[in-house]
Amino acid sequence: MSANSIWEYANPKKFIQTTDRVLPWISVLAVVSLVVGLIWGFFFTPDDYRQGSTVKIIYLHVPSALMAINAWLMMLVASLVWIVRRHHVSALAARAAAPVGAMMTVIALATGAIWGQPMWGTWWAWDPRLTSFLILFLFYLGYIALWEAIENDDTAADLTSILCLVGSVFALLSRYAVNFWNQGLHQGASLSLDKEENVADVFYYPLLVCIAGFVLLFIALVFLRTQTEIRARRMRALLARERMG
Amino acid sequence: MPDLGKYAEAVLSSYAVSIVLLLVLVWLSVRRAKRIKRQLQDVESKVKKHG
């Protein structure tokens, strides 16, 4: 795909046509991956020698935490495209991704708390990774609220893009907090290129399938929600034109 | 059903909370998509009628 052809998708009509074609396939793949990954992880993997059966929470906690961070990074890229090239679809894609990312953050925080209680003896600790994740969630809420609060779409896109740039610091901190500060209750990364640090293969493969499921679900939801934002924007423009004329 | 031992409550509640939240997210997204699509069609046909 040439660099020029990428920008064709900045045309709202072209974006809706293309995503309409791929959305059913991505949705089916997402459901299949999630069902296979979760059934595999829940029913067909052993207990961990230290964490017992709570290790099964990894199939929800790790993919949702990964998507919480990566959703914000996707919003960052879309916001930069808006700032540099003023493509409306990119600003609307960032807006569409925010509630999905926020929900992923809630799932990561909730499953983390439920997992933490039996393992650490507490639902919550002001640990670097947990705290930066909570701040990331607050950034999601602020981002969504800012879009809702500003009537002019272009002004809203400008201001939310700046907020997204600032929030990216916390998205990166959430990812690397364990490495930056070697303290706190949270363990190191579950997925690593270092074989020693990585989870055992028996947990790793179903985890990969679950991650694929979460990624595909995220893409499907962002496509659907971006289509909705494009249509909502067109509707507002038509209604405004009708009021004036 | 695997034997989850003393952690059954934690594991099952994690799955229940996550699956419910994911389903709510999908349902809200699909519902809004359908509603906005229908409203846009109404507005477009109204605009076309008025020239």
Distance from CA of B12 to the nearest CA of A (A): 9
In percent, how much of chain A has pLDDT > 70? 89
When pLDDT is cut at 50, 70 and 90, the band that residue B51 belongs to is low
| Chain A CB contacts of B34 below 8 Å | none
Cβ <8 Å between B10 and A227:
no
Q: Residue A41, Cβ neighbours under 10 Å: how many?
A: 22
**Which pLDDT does position A173 carry in this prediction?**
78
When pLDDT is cut at 50, 70 and 90, the band that residue A3 belongs to is low
C-alpha span between A134 and A140 (Å, rounded): 10
**Which pLDDT does position A243 carry in this prediction?**
82
Q: Encode pLDDT of A49-78 as tens digits.
A: 889 999 999 999 999 999 999 999 999 999
**Which pLDDT does position A170 carry in this prediction?**
79
Nearest CA in chain A to B42: A235
Q: Encode pLDDT of A6-45 as tens digits.
A: 777 778 999 999 999 999 999 999 999 999 999 999 999 9
Q: Which residues, in sequence order, are bridge partners of residue A52?
A: A48
**Does residue B2 have a pLDDT over 90?**
no
Helix locations, chain A, DSSP H: 3-6, 12-43, 58-85, 88-120, 128-149, 153-180, 201-244
* Residue labelled with tokens 């004036």: A244
Q: What's the whole-number average pLDDT of chain A?
A: 90
C-alpha span between A191 and A228 (Å, rounded): 35
Q: Which of B1, B6, B9, B14 to mutate to test the interface with A (most CBs of A within 10 A)?
A: B14
Nearest CA in chain B to A57: B11
**Does residue A190 have a pLDDT over 70?**
no
